[in-house]
Structure 1
Amino acid sequence: MSRSLKQPTSLKYLSAYSPQVQSQIQTMLDQDKLGAFLLKKYPEQHTINNDKLLRDYVMELKNRYLRKSSPLSKITYDKKIHVVNNALGLHTFVSRVQGSKLKSKNEIRISELFKTAPEAFLEMIVVHELSHIREKNHDKAFYKLCEHMLPDYHQMEFEMRLYLTQLELKGGIY
């Protein structure tokens, strides 16, 4: 079987994409060109490197697009979130009864991996998690909301998957 028709097996972040796309990415990896491609497109990592700055960043996006949504009680980088568990960020909604009142809390946790990523990828993850405040499922309404906040959401998701592939197979770009 020729190389161009063979489906790569090491591209787990890109498994939903066509064999042709996976083959192109595999060729870039084989030729050590994926890192250079990403670095040219994203020459700098962001400087949002602590929980306070992350909270400010998330709240700015939330206030711009989801002003009337439920408040967020916690926003943090989390070193326990592992990409291998298919999670880059987590949105949790907890309801508790306190006396005669029902209290709810929304939390957003972003994988610590994104402390040293391009800002575009951090923004994509934040938009994804913020969208879960309104839309719990990954359905048409969810992705429509993601695209409302970030018009090139799907392209950013694809390139973020390229970034994760590069990190796992070849190492960081910065």
Structure 2
Amino acid sequence: MAPMNYLRGYPPELLAQVSQLLAEGRLGETLRRRYPEAHDVRTDQALYDYVAVLKNRFMRNAQAIAKVAYDNKLHVIQNALGTHTSVSRVQGNKLKAKREIRVASLFKEAPAPFLRMIVVHELAHLKERTHDKAFYALCMHMEPAYTQLEFDTRLWLTARELETPGAC
């Protein structure tokens, strides 16, 4: 994947600034200074607990989440950073749907705000299926800095890919 693929759709002026940071080799260091704090959400159980706290705070009435896990293959196969799914199973004469959230394993190494952004994004899909105005409003409700964090996550992915080819 070319380095600027994560930044498609952003204004040319902004892309020029990013290109300059890339040319000077300062993008990764700039992000490390801006987001120095790591997180300790390293296991699937810790991730489940982390998601449950956010869900209970902002989305108490949303359907329960049956499973939350880091997924080693997610980013490589589906070119996604997180997914939300409904897994339907037949139990007797009833059809039960269980909700699952999977987060790309590379977020184990991400700064804490980036993990929060991806979790907020996937939680928002519990109520809003499409990336429309209502979806982003819900994301902003749960994380007021959502749009900045989404952009900075894209920058982090770009820097990570350049610093460690094949990492993303």
Residue pairs, 1:17-166, within 5 angstroms: 17-82=10-75, 85-166=78-159
Number of residue equivalences: 164
What is the rounded CA distance, in whole Å, between the counterparts of 2:93 and 2:45 in structure 1? 33
User: Which structure has the bigger radius of gyration?
Assistant: 1
- For structure 2, the 5+ residue unaligned runs are none
Q: 1:64-123: CA deviations, max 9, x gaps?
A: 001111000100000010157430001001233322212011000000000011010000
What is the rounded CA distance, in whole Å, between the counterparts of 1:40 and 1:149 in structure 2? 25
Contact 2:83 2:122 in 1 (8 A): yes
- For structure 1, the 5+ residue unaligned runs are 1-8
Q: What is the TM-score of this pair, normalised by structure 1?
A: 0.89
Q: Which residue of 1 aligns with 2:161?
A: 168
Q: 1:112-161: CA deviations, max 9, x gaps?
A: 00001101000000000000111111111111111110011101000000
Contact 2:3 2:161 in 1 (8 A): no
Q: What is the TM-score of this pair, normalised by structure 2?
A: 0.92
Deviation at 1:10, TM superposition (A): 3.5
Name the % identity.
52
Deviation at 1:44, TM superposition (A): 2.8
